[in-house]
Each structure stands twice: as structure tokens, then as C-alpha cells.
Structure 1
């Protein structure tokens, strides 16, 4: 075993590092497994929870606590809030409550760690393993991952305990631990360590492990927890670099709240120590170092909870002034705007939370749709009347569509490498299909309509006012259908999607009218009549085809929402093949 006798002048470094680093690795891996399983089990409920519990600052704090307890990261919660603010679903003031509540959610991990069930850790690993590999039921397998991750957390802590035990008699280490009684040094050390590993839970687990060995006092443990609260802001801060002002403001609010809490409590560490000693279970049957080792871990976990709950209670009434302050500190002029061809919502941090990453993809699809619509609205007028320069400018707009499409496809590719449920996998393919449909609209304008416009200029063709009016009526209805199809996929509104499908009759009637008009014009005595007929027919056909893409987007919305309403049906919408069949049938 690693509990070997050592003198104060010698130490077996190899076994110690294997126990400490190996245990920390298993602890972090188990924490990740537990977190991933909780996120998969919670699924889309995370978004619904935030959407329904942000009516006031108190329920917002509750929502932030619950979501963070599930995703095991206050930084992820903060990034999620940024997406909601950017989408206009909540104000910065509303988000303050969620950010404050996120700190309470992180204390759940410390409370779990403080339970001394390390003797049963391998039993939990075994139960989780056989649950995971003993069934093909997806939900049961997620619970297997959850139990096994829970066991690995405590097995990792046991290894860290065994690995650090020889340090009890190693004088240099004991002397270094005595420096933890200086709260400033302890806060700085914990903040730096947390920033490096980007996990306050890792810092908390290590602090509780050291406390279980009797290496640090309760007051030193509290100071280390304070530092972890500051260090955890680094992740959200780094994520906000180069992002819209909402991201910077939310990250800054997180920093200000956590730092303010530490500043408020710094002078009251002894009093906080007395409070948690009073409310925590005692072990009077023990004495000396054994009693300290038995009582301190639970006391530190309780101090973590009391500290964050008290901060939220004290500062939640100041959400409006805090929002005003961060708005003043980060004005419009200090933050670069998101370029049209750069993604706004696709944050890599949320790739580890697929149910939330899907929401960001859907919002980015809205931006891609807006770029495609911008091309559509100016395409017909430019093709019929535009100069060479105006046609070139229209062609350049497709670069924005292509760039956003590439960003979405890349993000979905990275998301596909995460652990996804069957529904999330189907949804990923659906969103990829929608992105391709929107990109196809841009390509059709760039490759076909623009070519038609250039042919008009080269051949000196002029489309009659009557023909232009008929084509404009068809184009207007197609644009309306496309706009509503995009709105349906972003909002998930099935009724709007059904309206798009129902517009087929109107589109066919308008295109039929255009075909009859063009046929009658073919017999007219006019110069270049055949060339004109070919040009006008091509324009009409390309405009009509754009409606087919809009209809396919609407079908994705209807299929996606039908799967939500009837989750027990195993059939998935295979958009790639379905789209091909639709195109072959409708073209």
C-alpha cells in the first residue's frame, strides 16, 4: 500500500505522485462521466427550466442552481445565459439571478464529495458497469454511466487519500500547509489552480481530501474555497473574448459577483468557521488530528454552501445596479460587433452539453436563414434591372451564406463526436439538412439567377412589365414561405411550418399562371423572342425551386416536433434520404 512509513527527511515521490495524480485523474473522469450522464438524462428540460423560471430574480436564481447542479459547471451556465441574452429571450438584469444561482449549484459537488463512502466506491463502479453493459436501453445505460462516475469520484478520492498519507510525517510539506493559514496566500493559490484546471469542483475535491488527512484547518479550507470561487470565473472570461458585448457583460457580472462575495466574507472567515462548526456533525469520541480529519471535510463543504447561499441572499436585491454597472464598464464602443459571416452563437463550451448546443445551432440557423433571405429579397430586381456592378454585389452576398454554413457544419461535426441520445443524433442530422437547404438557396441565386442576369445584359434583353409583375408575385410568395419556414425551425412552431406546406397550392397556381403567360408570349412578334422565353422560364423555375427548399425546412420542423410529442416512436427523420426523395418527386 501507499501508506508506507517515511522519515521527515525522505519521501517516496513516485508512489506519492501516482496516488495523487492518478486519483485526481479518476476523480475528474468520474465527475465528467456523472456530469455527462446527468446532462443526457435531463435533456431538453434544461432549456425549458430556464425559460419558465426567469420571471423574477428569485426563481432565476433557483433555475441557475438546478442547471449548474446538473451540468456541474457555473461557466457553462454563464455561457448559456449569454445565448439567451443575445437571442433576446432575457435581459441582462434577468440573467443576474441565474448567474448568482449558478454558484449555489456548484456546492452540490462539494456536499457529495464530503460523504465518506469511499469504502463502497468500487461497489458503485461495479453496479454502474454491469448496468451500463447489461442492457441496450439507452436511458438505463445513462444511469449506469451516472453510478459508475459517482463511484469513480470516491475511488479517486481514496487513491488521493492513500497517496498523500505519507506527507503527514514529511516536515517540509507540513510547514507549507501551515502557510495556508494566511488567507490571502490560500485564496491566490486556489484561484490559480482552479483557473489552470478550469474546474472549481477539482479544487474542492482536493481541499476536502487534504482536510481529511488533517493537513489544513477549517479556516484555511474556507480561504481555499474562496479562491476556487474566483478562479472559476476564468473559463467564462476566456470564452467571452472576441464575443459580442452580451458575453463580455455576463462574464464580467460573474467575476464581480464572485469577487464581491469573497471581499464581503474575507474579514469574517473566523465567524463563518464558527457557524459551520455549529451546524456540522461532530465526532466527540475522537481527539487531536483524528477528530480534525473526521470533522473538517463536512465543515468545509457546509462552508462552501453557506458562503454561496449567503452571497446570493445578500446581493440578489442588487441585480439592477449590477447590470447597470457592467453596462457602463462594457459600453458598445469597447466591444467589436459580430461580422455577418462569423457565427454569433456557436460557443465551443456548450459542445459538452448537447441539448443546449442544439439550441445554439438553431439560433445560428436563424442567422443563416436571414443571410439567405437578404439575397432572395434583392435577387429578382437585380436580375431583371441590375447593372453588372449590382449583379457582382449580389454574388458576393453568397460568401456570407457560405461562411455561416461552413461554421454550422463544422460545429455540428464537432458536436457529433460527443455522447448523444438517439433523438439528439436525429436532430443533428435534421439541422445539418436545414443548413444545406439554406446554403442551396444561396448557391441557386449565385449560380443560376446571377447567370441569367448576366445573359440579359450580354444579349440586351428586356423583360416586359407584365412578365415582371407575374414573376414578382411568385417571388414575393416564395420569399414569404421561406421566411416562415426559417421562423418555424428557429421557434419550433409547427403551425407556421404547416402554413408553409399549405402554401404549395398558391405557389403552384402562381407558377402555372406564369407558365401560361410565358407560353402566350412565345408566339408574340418580338426580337429575340426565343432567348427571352428561355431567360424568363429559367428565372421562374429557379424562383419556384426555392420554395421546395422552404417546404423541406418546414417538414423538418414538423417531424422534429412530432418526435418530441411522441417520444416512444423509434422512427427518425433521415433528412438526407428524405430530402432526396422529395426533390426527385417534386422537381
Structure 2
């Protein structure tokens, strides 16, 4: 039981360390995510400003993995050249060592102070930014607390024959040690946490100095492996940034591994503390990588393009273009991405709606098939947006973000329903008309064209309302619902008049004609729903459309309540 308790204490301390690192990263991302992204864009003028920007930003984020994923997203969308993105990564690798250097000092006394200040700041306000800053303070306090607990938890391991025998087997197997540390770092996605763990083991005497250096090499390689694996399904352009980082770290690690015996005395001369040995080597490793490869960023970028060449990819209209997975920790930005993708979805549905009237005019069976294929793409795009919104909702949403989340999800669902009506209903009517060789009367076709144009204009208006949340536009859209109802009644009266006249075209297409009008009205109903939440928040909606019931005795309208 004593051994089980020791293992649980070590595992719990490591878990607390990982959680602290995550709280700091997510807190900073949510509080200052947009500013950090603008900072990266501003620093991308040349390799030196890019290196400095990566160093500063990752020094705050404490995660080169997060920076790598962010840069991959930028590079994948062509917002930053590959060579400059790699220069930012070199700075990020050095920046992530800053936190390790700070935490290697005995700052345990700050742990309760940071946790206390963070909890007070988090609970004392409902505003998002102060709460996220409080989260950062709590995370830093937990990291310092975990290091103290880790030092206490690992003391019994020095007296464990089995554990020491296992480590003894690694003493001269530095390649195996590098591989194990690489896999461990990839698994936890945090080279900082693994380096601090190695520092704790080395300070406790559990790991001898040369083995600690080998483990640090593995931690650096694993820190570069994590974002590369995470981007395995991304575009080729997005995968080249983490590939460049992985290649350079692996090359530096391979170059340093045979010379651990020579590097050790130099590091001990710099600082004889066994506790800080691993951290100093971690910093020296990344500074050396920057000095060697910063002048060669164009060469590395060329090599990565050769290793991962562009592949011709057919354009898939159902593939999302704006759902950036790297901003999910920042709900406001993630909702912005979902909004842009919803507009893309609206454009796809708009194309289907525009083409639908052409099918009735030209009797083109190929156009029916094209719209069916377009609806399949709309369905895939809708599913991607819905899944992205679900992932966004797993983070803490403020009141405004929560309201916007519901609006986006509701509108995308209504757009998907519009696509289904066009595909399953309108195209079925068009196929019936084509199959039976029916023809609308000139007046009937003109009515359908005018009614369709009005609904298409309301789709454009609905997308503008969704984007701007403008109250006057929302009122116009709701008013159009009444106008569409009146237009439907007018079209029905005109159609029945033609039936009374005995017009053969109107008689044979009567059910199709009226069903098309009905389905277009249903489409308009789905579109106008986007205005109601906006008007409700603004207090612009009445509680009911019913008139006040008259008093049964006097016959006069009852007073409103």
C-alpha cells in the first residue's frame, strides 16, 4: 500500500501540474486571444521581429504547442509565409523555456497567494476578461503547488529498489530515454510539464545528470511531435509549420546526443545546481536551435515543401473553410468563425434557391441532380458547423456569447431545412413536371418567378440581419412575412381565376403550382426566424398577435393587461 500511495501522489502531482499549465494557457487565450493573434501578424515583417514575437507570445502562453497550432492555421490559410512562421516557431521554442526558468526557482511561497488572488478575482466579477485573468493566476499557483507536492511525492522513490533498478537500466541507454521522453511529452502535449518533472526527478537524485539531459532532448522532440500529429488531417500548407519545427528539433537532438558527456561539465560550471541542470539545458537546446536555423529559415521552408508537396485537391463545396479548430479555447473568436461559415452555408443555400426556379423554367433533369448534389454538400457543411459549435460550447460561455451561440445554431438549422425543402419538395415537384411534360401558363410562370424573387431577396435580407443584428433590418424581415402571406393569397386568387377560365395549362399544373407557392412560403418562414431573437432582446416584439377578447356582457374590448 505504501508503493500505491507513492504512485498516486506522483500521478496526482503531475496531473495538477498539467492542469495548471492548461489553466494558464486557456485563461490567456480567452482573455487576450485576439490581441495575441494580431501581435503575431504584426511581428511577421522579417525573421528577427518574427522570432522576437514568437518568444514574447509563447513566454506568456507557456505552450509552444498552442503557438504551433495557431501558426499552422495562419499558414494553411495563406496569412503568413512558411519561412516567417518557422521563425516565429524558433522564437516560441525559446519562449517556452522562460516559464521553466522562472518555475525552477523556489517560489512555493507564492502558490497560496496566487491561488487566493485568482479565486477572489474569478468569483468577484461576472465580466469575462477579469475572470480569465483570475484563471491565469490560479493556474500559476497550481503549477507552483504541484512542483512542491511533486518533490515530496518523489522522495520515497529513491528508496524503492524496483524503481531505481528500472532507472538504472536507462543509465547508459540514452536513445531509449529520448524515445520514452518523446512519447511521454506527445501524450501530455506539454514539454514544459515534462521538463519540470525531469527537473524534479534530477533535484531529488532519482535521475542522474546525463540521463536528465537525454530526457530533456526527448521532451523537446515530443513537444514538436504533438502539434504535427494534431495537424495530421489538416491541409498540407498547415502541416509544414509543425514539420519544420519537428525536423529542426530532431536534428539538434541528434547532434547533441553523442556529446552529453562534454555538455554536462559546461552546464555544471554555469550552474552546479542539479535542480536547474535540466532547465538550463532545455534553454540552451532551444537557443542553439534558433542560432543555427534562424539564418536558414528559407532553406528549411524549401525542404518542407519538398517533403510535403502540394497535392491537387478537388474543390468540395461541403468542406468548411472558416472553422478554425485552434481558436476553440477563445469562444468569441470561435463563434466568429462559425458565423463566417454560416454565411458560406447561406451562400450555398442561396445558389440552390436561385437554381430552383430555373429548373421549372427550363425543365432540365440535370439541374435537378445538381441541386440534389448541392443539398448533400449543404448537409455536410451544416454538420461541420454544428459539431464546431458543440465543441465551442464545452468552454465557459458568457451571456452574450451564449446568446450568439443559440442564434448561430438556430439559423444554421433553418438554412439546412431550407435546403431540404428545395431538394425534397421543390425538386420533386420539378421532376413531376418534367416527367409529365407539363407547362405553366405564361401568367402562372410570371407569378412563380415574382414570388420566388421576393423569397430570394428575403434570404439576402436574412443573412444581413444575421450578420449585423440591426433592429430596423430585423423589423423589415418580419414585415416581409406578412407581405409574403398577402402575395400568396393574391397568387392563389389569380390561379383560381385562370382555372375558372378553363386554361388547360393551369388545370394540369394546378397542384404543382400551388405546392411551389406553399413551399416557397415555408422557406420564407424559416428565414424570418432569424429576426425574432434580435427583436425580442430589443423589446420590439408584442406578446401575441391576437386581438383582446370582447367582454361577454358589454361586448366591448376588455382592458389589456
TM class by shorter-chain length?
Answer: 0.7 to 0.9
Of the candidates 431, 443, 456, which is equivalent to residue 420 of structure 2?
Answer: 443
Kept in 2: contact 1:478–1:507 (CA 8 A): no
Aligned to 1:39, what secondary structure does the other structure show? Answer: helix
Q: Does 1:312 align with 2:297?
A: no
1:224 is matched with 215
Contiguous gaps of at least 5 residues in structure 2: 546-561
> Over the residues paired in the alignment, what is the CA RMSD in angstroms?
4.7
For residues 232 and 272 of structure 1, the distance between their equivalents in structure 2, rounded to whole angstroms, comes to 22
The CA deviation at 1:412 is 1.2
For residues 541 and 74 of structure 2, the distance between their equivalents in structure 1, rounded to whole angstroms, comes to 36
Within-5 A mapping of 1:147-546: 147-168=137-158, 176=167, 179-180=170-171, 183-216=174-207, 219-266=210-257, 269=260, 292=272, 295-333=273-311, 340-341=317-318, 343=320, 346=323, 351-355=328-332, 357-358=334-335, 360-362=337-339, 364-365=341-342, 367-388=344-365, 390-457=367-434, 460-463=437-440, 526-529=503-506
Aligned to 1:528, what secondary structure does the other structure show? Answer: helix
- Cα 1:46–1:448 change in 2 (3 A) is farther
1:89 is matched with 79
- Cα 1:352–1:310 change in 2 (3 A) is same
For residues 579 and 120 of structure 1, the distance between their equivalents in structure 2, rounded to whole angstroms, comes to 49
1:76 is matched with 66
Deviations 1:201-231 (A, max 9, x none): 2211201111222444555433322211111
For residues 250 and 464 of structure 1, the distance between their equivalents in structure 2, rounded to whole angstroms, comes to 61
Deviations 1:163-197 (A, max 9, x none): 22234455665563694466434322311221232
Deviations 1:7-56 (A, max 9, x none): xxxx9423422331221122222222222222222243233333433344
The CA deviation at 1:421 is 3.5
For residues 453 and 343 of structure 1, the distance between their equivalents in structure 2, rounded to whole angstroms, comes to 30
- Cα 1:296–1:369 change in 2 (3 A) is farther
Kept in 2: contact 1:39–1:70 (CA 8 A): no
- Cα 1:550–1:304 change in 2 (3 A) is farther
The CA deviation at 1:460 is 4.1
For residues 453 and 90 of structure 1, the distance between their equivalents in structure 2, rounded to whole angstroms, comes to 47
The CA deviation at 1:268 is 5.7
- Cα 1:437–1:72 change in 2 (3 A) is farther
- Cα 1:509–1:361 change in 2 (3 A) is closer
Kept in 2: contact 1:244–1:337 (CA 8 A): no
- Cα 1:145–1:173 change in 2 (3 A) is same
From the CA coordinates, give the structure whose radius of gyration is larger: 2
Kept in 2: contact 1:369–1:486 (CA 8 A): yes
- Cα 1:426–1:506 change in 2 (3 A) is closer
The CA deviation at 1:577 is 8.2
The CA deviation at 1:377 is 4.2
Q: More deviation in 252-261 or 52-61?
A: 52-61
For residues 466 and 23 of structure 1, the distance between their equivalents in structure 2, rounded to whole angstroms, comes to 79
Kept in 2: contact 1:96–1:253 (CA 8 A): yes
Kept in 1: contact 2:199–2:277 (CA 8 A): no
For residues 408 and 48 of structure 2, the distance between their equivalents in structure 1, rounded to whole angstroms, comes to 35
**Corresponding residue pairs, total:** 540
The CA deviation at 1:355 is 4.7
The CA deviation at 1:116 is 1.2
TM-score of the pair, normalised by structure 2: 0.77
Aligned to 2:438, what secondary structure does the other structure show? Answer: coil
Kept in 1: contact 2:353–2:456 (CA 8 A): yes
- Cα 1:207–1:477 change in 2 (3 A) is farther
TM-score of the pair, normalised by structure 1: 0.74
For residues 70 and 123 of structure 2, the distance between their equivalents in structure 1, rounded to whole angstroms, comes to 33
Deviations 1:560-586 (A, max 9, x none): xxxxxxxxxxxxx7699899969x99x
Q: Does 1:22 align with 2:12?
A: yes
